[in-house]
Structure 1
Amino acid sequence: MLEISNQTQDIFDGELFNQIAHHLSPKDIELVLAGDEEVLELNKTFRAKNKTTDVLSFPFSDMGIVGVDLPLGSVVINVDMAKRMAKKLGHCVEFEIALLLIHGILHLLGYDHENDTGEHRDKEEALIAYFGLPPSLIVRNQ
Structure 2
Amino acid sequence: MSLRLSWNNEQEQHSITPELIARLKELLVLAGRAEQVMDGEVALSFVDDAAIQELNMQYRGLDKPTDVLSFSMMEMGEDEIAIIYGDEEFDEEEFEFIEVEGGADGKTGSTGSDENDELEDDEEGEEEPLGDIIISVERAAAQAEEYGHSLERELGFLFVHGFLHLIGYDHQNEDEEKRMFAKQEAILQQAGLTR
* 1:22 maps to 2:16: no
* 1:8 maps to 2:19: no
2:136 is aligned to 78
TM-superposed CA distance for 1:100, in Å, is 0.3
> Where does structure 2 lack aligned partners over 5 or more consecutive residues?
33-38, 80-126
2:158 is aligned to 100
TM-superposed CA distance for 1:93, in Å, is 1.3
Which amino acid letter does the alignment assign opposite residue 134 of structure 1? T
Measured against aligned partners, the alpha-carbon deviations of 1:77-98 in whole angstroms (never above 9, x if no partner) come to 0100111111223322122111
Higher Cα radius of gyration: 2
TM-superposed CA distance for 1:62, in Å, is 6.2
* 1:123 maps to 2:183: yes
Match of 1:49 among 42, 62, 66: 62
Equivalent residues of 1:54, 1:100 under 8 A apart: yes
Instruction: Give the TM-score, by structure 1 length.
Output: 0.84
TM-superposed CA distance for 1:61, in Å, is 2.5
Which is further off, 23-32 or 38-47?
A: 23-32
Structure number with greater CO (CA < 8 Å, separation at least 6) is 2
Equivalent residues of 2:26, 2:191 under 8 A apart: no
TM-superposed CA distance for 1:65, in Å, is 2.0
Percent identity (aligned): 33
Which amino acid letter does the alignment assign opposite residue 2 of structure 1? L
1:138 is aligned to none
2:113 is aligned to none
TM-superposed CA distance for 1:59, in Å, is 0.4
* 1:36 maps to 2:83: no
Distance, in Å, in 1 between the alignment partners of 2:76 and 2:9 is: 24
Secondary structure of the 1:72 match is: strand
Measured against aligned partners, the alpha-carbon deviations of 1:33-70 in whole angstroms (never above 9, x if no partner) come to 0000100011111112111100000001265129xx63
Determine which structure has the larger helix proportion and give its number: 1
Distance, in Å, in 2 between the alignment partners of 1:30 and 1:7 is: 13
